[in-house]
Structure formats: structure tokens, C-alpha cells
Amino acid sequence: MQTFLTTPKYNKFYIYKTPTSQYQRFCNAFGYYRMVNTKNPMYPKVGLCIECSNAWKEIRHKSQEEIKNKIREYLATKITIQVSQRPIEEIIVVDTTPPNAAAQKKAAEAISATNTKLAELQRIYNSTTDL
């Protein structure tokens, strides 16, 4: 398996493009927080707005400083790097080369040796990731 490290792009202005009020800044921060925690950069906006209004109902009666701290906390949510593994496709070599094709036979042997080594390395890798 070949491993790729990817980091999805999360938009901090997902709901309101230019927030003008504390509520809009809170909704954007809350949306960013939910997208990062669910690892879904395209979180459904309708559901997100409903969740945001419920969260806002709980926090809106607190002081401005507490609201700003909550917004900072949401925006400081750490993005985890996602590791995706894709299998390496093996090359299948058919041994039907003509008897007078020496270069093709040599290439087929090299490919076969490489496939064998690749399979061995994949077994080693799988055994080390099982720990």
C-alpha cells in the first residue's frame, strides 16, 4: 500500500462570507469547528445553521469576553492530517514471449523480480502497521 498524507481545506467563512455581527462570527467559528471535528469540509449548511442557533442560544447570555473566547477556541481547532492508503497495482506479466525475443524475456524477468520484491515489502509494511 502506498500512503498519502492529505489535509482537507476547511473554510472559516463557510456560512457568512463577510460577518458583521458577533452572532455571524460565532456561526462561522462554530461551522469551522463542526467541519473539522466531523472531517467534512462540505458540511450541510442547513444542519449546521440549526446546530449553530442551538449553540448560540446557550452562549448569547454570557459576557462578550466569554463569547470571544469561545470563538477563538473554535477557530483554534486542530486539523488532523488524514492518511489514506491506496493499493499499488501489480503488473501482470503473461509468459508468452516468443523464443527469439531476448529483450522481452529479460524485461519480463525484471518485472517479475520487482513484483516479488514489492509483495515482500508490502508484507513487511503490513506486519509493522499491525503493532
Q: What pLDDT is stored for residue 83 in this prediction? A: 61
> Is the pLDDT assigned to residue 129 strictly greater than 70?
no
Name the band, by pLDDT with cuts 50, 70 and 90, for residue 79. confident
**Whole-angstrom distance, CA of residue 101 vs CA of residue 116:** 23
Q: Write the CB contacts of 31 (distance below 8 Å, at least 6 apart in sequence).
A: 14, 15, 43, 48, 52
Q: What pLDDT is stored for residue 1 in this prediction? A: 47
User: pLDDT tens across 9-68, in order?
Assistant: 777 777 888 888 999 999 989 988 998 888 888 888 888 889 989 999 999 899 999 999
| Residue in the block written with cell 469540509 | 41
| Residue in the block written with cell 503490513 | 126
What type of residue is 29? A
| Residue in the block written with cell 467541519 | 35
> Is the pLDDT assigned to residue 92 strictly greater than 60?
no
Q: Give the distance from CA 116 to its chain's centroid.
A: 31
**Which has more confidence, 31 or 94?**
31
* Percent of all residues in the chain with a pLDDT value above 70, rounded to a whole number: 79
Residue 57 has which C-alpha cell?
A: 442560544
Determine phi and psi for 46, rounding to 5 degrees: -65, -50
Contact (Cβ atoms closer than 8 angstroms) between residue 47 and residue 35 = no
First-to-last alpha carbon distance for the chain, in angstroms, is: 16
